[in-house]
DNA sequence: GTCTATAGTTTGATAGAC
DNA sequence: GTCTATCAAACTATAGAC
């Protein structure tokens, strides 16, 4: 690759501006809702006019796609960036808590990641990749702890997802359902590996 | 109340037209998505022009509100219209299945009922009432079967809601997660009333 | 009770000057 | 690379004729 210093600096600045636009987009959707993002508002917040955004993103959906990619990468880092160690109870409990905390700490991010609420938008395979990787890693962890059936794995995801749901729907911004994470993990483990019930 | 036959007939016809409009609205949102409902399309489907709808509903949100009310009443009827009898396992299993089937059989209805995805819309207390009644009745049933803590009740709702979530998000229109309803109920009951584990 | 006409916004996106 | 100007379209809602 031959790249002049000028090109380097230019592309670095370009990436910086893209990041600035995305930050502003997150701020706006947290303020007015995911569907209410408008290019005029977004441009105004970064000190531009709307048409200038097209120098950085080819469409509004491309901005949503980039936001989705950031959120997916954050989920991978937050949940499986560090591999949880310790006993089965400790490792799986840690994953459950990380999932719950990640999903409930930013309702709009969760809406973008886990619901399909923007008409016509679907994340591209590239931006979706970290989400796939996350599932694969969690499954691997479960496998290392002897939980290998699809049923058990799906059940775990349903339980944690259910807690997140209730939290976001009934007590957004609160932590009312966080107290149910540990009981849920106990309930789950007692069901899928009853023989290890007494282990600490 | 003094009402002439003319008034009766007129109001009956009016209610009929309102019902027709709501039916058309459900058809449209199932086709194009909940947020994509437009008054022009809706009017066209019932053979009117958009302004005429204002004779029946005072705003677009009023239409969403009426739809929410229908859905809430349907949920009450489908889940607790008939009181589930039999053993604890049978009664609670029946409730879980009815909840799962109701919520997964119509994704758009579930979106309207359980997510707040329409900007600026919140159901009025009157239309919300059947949903409150449903929760009260399920809680009463649980109480009759000896399950009286908020924790247990919240856990049950989270588990069933989680299954619904997974179903709608990962396999919309399918029935992949229906097979997890019974295991989930077993898991839940084993956790909240372990002493009754052996009962059939 | 339905219509036409239209107000009044807002939207995403493009063309072309500078 | 940012701007002005503008397009073309969509939307909810209202006024007033019939």
pLDDT (tens digit, 9 = 90+) per residue, A70-109?
A: 999 999 999 999 999 999 999 999 999 999 999 999 999 9
What sections of B33-114 are H helices per DSSP?
A: 39-45, 60-80, 88-104, 107-114
**Where are the extended beta strands (E) located within A26-130?**
none
Tokens 């179903």 belong to residue: B167
pTM over 0.75: yes
| Residue environment code for B151-162, b if the CB has 16+ CB neighbours within 10 A, otherwise e | ebbbbbbbbbbb
Are residues B51 and B66 both part of a single domain?
A: no
Are residues A135 and A176 both part of a single domain?
A: yes
No. of helices (H) and no. of strands (E), chain B: 8, 0
Given a contact cutoff of 8 angstroms between Cβ atoms, the answer to whether A153 and A147 are in contact is yes
Cβ atoms within 10 A of the Cβ of A120, count?
9
Is pLDDT at A200 greater than 50 in this prediction? no
pLDDT tens, per residue, chain B with 200 residues:
656 666 778 789 999 999 999 999 999 999 999 999 999 999 999 999 999 999 999 999 999 999 999 999 999 999 999 999 999 999 999 999 999 999 999 999 999 999 988 888 999 999 999 999 999 999 999 999 999 999 999 999 999 999 999 999 999 889 999 999 999 999 999 999 977 644 44
Are residues A96 and A186 both part of a single domain?
A: yes
Is pLDDT at A199 greater than 50 in this prediction? no
What is the 8-class DSSP label of residue A87? Answer: S
Domain final position from B38, B57, B76: B57
Tokens 């009929």 belong to residue: B16
Over residues A36-46, the mean pLDDT reads 97
Specify the number of domains making up chain A. 2
- pLDDT at residue B199, as a whole number: 44
Any idea what the CATH number is for the domain that residue A2 is in? 1.10.10.60
Contact call for B187 and A187, based on CB within 8 A: yes
> Closest by alpha carbon to B158, among B129, B192, B128?
B192
Task: State the nucleotide closest to B60 in CA–C1' terms.
Answer: D12
Residue A95 CB-density burial (10 A; 0-12 exposed, 13-18 middle, 19+ buried)? buried
Given a contact cutoff of 8 angstroms between Cβ atoms, the answer to whether B163 and B97 are in contact is no
Measure CA B197 to chain center. Answer: 32
**Residue B38 to residues A117, B16, B26, B113, B119, Cα–Cα distance (Å):** 17, 21, 12, 19, 14
Are residues A50 and A79 both part of a single domain?
A: no
**Residue B115 to residues B13, B124, B143, B191, Cα–Cα distance (Å):** 33, 15, 28, 29
Are residues B106 and B165 both part of a single domain?
A: yes
Interchain contact A174–B (C-beta under 8 A): no
CB contacts, 8 Å: B162 with chain A: 157-163, 165
Contact call for B166 and A158, based on CB within 8 A: yes
Are residues A52 and A74 both part of a single domain?
A: no
Cβ atoms within 10 A of the Cβ of B55, count?
11
Any idea what the CATH number is for the domain that residue B174 is in? 1.10.357.10
- pLDDT at residue B198, as a whole number: 45
Name the pLDDT band for A8 (thresholds 50, 70, 90): confident
Are residues B95 and B129 both part of a single domain?
A: yes
Are residues A14 and A84 both part of a single domain?
A: no
Interchain contact A158–B (C-beta under 8 A): yes
Are residues B88 and B150 both part of a single domain?
A: yes
Are residues A40 and A66 both part of a single domain?
A: no
> What token pair was written down for B181?
């309803």
Are residues A72 and A29 both part of a single domain?
A: no
Chain C bases near protein CB atoms (7 A cut-off): 1-5, 10-16
Rounded, the Å distance between the CA of B45 and C1' of C12 is 27
Q: What is the mean pLDDT of chain A?
A: 94
> Closest by alpha carbon to B30, among B102, B101, B110?
B110
Are residues B53 and B145 both part of a single domain?
A: no
Contact call for B183 and A166, based on CB within 8 A: no
- pLDDT at residue A2, as a whole number: 60
Domain residue limits at B43: 1-57
Given a contact cutoff of 8 angstroms between Cβ atoms, the answer to whether B63 and B57 are in contact is yes
């Amino acid at each position: 690759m031959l790249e002049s210093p000028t090109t380097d600096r230019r592309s670095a600045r370009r990436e910086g501006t893209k990041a600035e636009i995305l930050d502003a987009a997150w701020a706006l959707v947290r303020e007015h809702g995911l569907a209410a993002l408008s290019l005029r508002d977004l441009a105004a917040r970064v000190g531009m006019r709307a048409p200038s955004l097209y120098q950085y993103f080819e469409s509004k959906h491309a901005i949503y796609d980039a936001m989705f990619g950031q959120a997916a990468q954050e989920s991978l880092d937050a949940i499986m960036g560090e591999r949880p160690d310790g006993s089965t109870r400790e490792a799986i409990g840690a994953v459950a808590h990380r999932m719950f905390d990640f999903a409930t700490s930013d309702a709009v991010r969760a809406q973008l990641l886990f619901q399909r609420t923007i008409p016509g938008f679907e994340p591209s395979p590239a931006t979706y990749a970290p989400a796939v990787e996350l599932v694969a890693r969690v499954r691997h962890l479960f496998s290392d702890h002897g939980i290998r059936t699809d049923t058990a794995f799906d059940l775990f995801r349903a339980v944690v997802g259910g807690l997140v749901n209730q939290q976001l729907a009934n007590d957004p911004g609160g932590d009312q359902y966080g107290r149910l994470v540990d009981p849920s993990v106990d309930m789950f483990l007692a069901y899928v590996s009853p023989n290890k019930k007494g282990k600490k």
